[in-house]
Amino acid sequence: TTYSGHGNSVGTSSYIEHRLGYNDRTVAGIVDDVAAQNAIFIVNHPMLDLGDQCIGCAWGHVDDTPWDKVAGMELITGNFEIGVQAFVPRVITLWDSLLDQGNRIAVVGGSDDHRAGLDTGPTSSKIGSPTTLVLADNLSEAAIIDAVAKGRTIVQLRGPDDPFVELTIDRPDGTAAEIGDDVTGVAHVTATAHIVGGDGTFVQLWRDGKKLEAKPVTDDDVRVTFTDTPGAEHHRYRAELLNDLNQRIVVTSHIYVDGIAADEGCGCQTGSASGGLAVVALGLVLRRRRRVAG
């Protein structure tokens, strides 16, 4: 916590000097020291600009942060009803702008609960709400950290009772790339969103920060397929789930695609992922959540 931004170092085992400006301390120095402990750095509530009501809550170091070394960014912090309108759209704009520059940053959520669940005011949010799902190989600290660093996250903006959304993209060899994966050698993208518990919602596919298409979710366990011909460039895809009030309730991190021109044809592919979905209520309270294909 500083007077010009808040962040988390996840996985550190010893104190890291956080006093910016003291002995010429910089954000870059902090992030480097976090990495030196094989930990990850996450920027908290970057757009939470509340003036004197929350000094230093907004991230004041957009221009001097080494974003290529930042693993995550809080998409939503605390109370859903306030955050989903006031802060989430601005965070997504910042997030997309940083990804446009070639950075890979996962989205996470945080309750920012300072009262151990005892705060019942209009801005309160208990631990675990919002919820971050992490596609990890196991529940060890190292596996969770590695998964976040690789961008294998999904944020349920209200909490763990929100619908589950899983995004995959078909590879040329018939296997499926998962969130955080890279895919190469595809001219036509087939993306599938598997939604559980989302009847009555709408799922959107986004490419490179722009919404491509939205489709209704008409059952409690469905797979919705999207197709796209992105062209020969590097692209990123994510899924977003919206409720009937047009509010985002689930946002995934990205799958990265190196496209080829539609007439080139190539069977190349890279990247893979395996493992279960671990629920992380960023305070790193974990429980196993394993998906079984149906």
Going by C-beta distance under 8 Å and a sequence separation of 6 or more, which residues neighbour residue 220? 196, 197, 198, 199
Domains and CATH numbers, the chain: 71-287 (2.60.40.10)
Of 70, 83, 56, 94, nearest in space to 10 by CA: 70
d(CA 170, CA 183): 9
Q: Is the pLDDT of residue 86 over 70?
A: yes
Q: Is the pLDDT of residue 287 over 50?
A: no
Exposure of 144 in the CB half-sphere (CA atoms within 13 A)? 19
Type of residue at 42? I
pLDDT of residue 54: 74
Type of residue at 41? F
Cβ–Cβ under 8 Å, residues 34 and 40: yes
pLDDT of residue 52: 76
pLDDT tens-digit map of 157-169: 999 999 999 999 9
pLDDT tens-digit map of 211-237: 999 999 999 999 999 999 999 999 999
pLDDT of residue 57: 85
**Dihedrals phi, psi of 194, to nearest 5 degrees:** -100, 120
pLDDT tens-digit map of 239-284: 999 999 999 999 999 999 999 998 754 444 434 333 334 444 333 3
- Positive or negative, the CA dihedral 36, 147, 247, 78 is negative
Q: For residue 126, what is the DSSP state?
A: -
d(CA 56, CA 131): 24
d(CA 81, CA 75): 14
pLDDT of residue 127: 74
- Positive or negative, the CA dihedral 17, 125, 43, 31 is positive
- Mean pLDDT, the chain, integer: 87
pLDDT tens-digit map of 34-48: 999 999 999 998 988
pLDDT of residue 77: 87
How far is residue 38 CA from its own chain's centroid?
20
**Dihedrals phi, psi of 124, to nearest 5 degrees:** -75, 155
Q: Is the pLDDT of residue 205 over 50?
A: yes
Give CA angle at 241 (49, 294), nearest 5°: 140
pLDDT of residue 79: 86
The pTM (predicted TM-score) of the whole model is 0.86
Q: Is the pLDDT of residue 101 over 90?
A: yes
Q: Is the pLDDT of residue 137 over 90?
A: yes
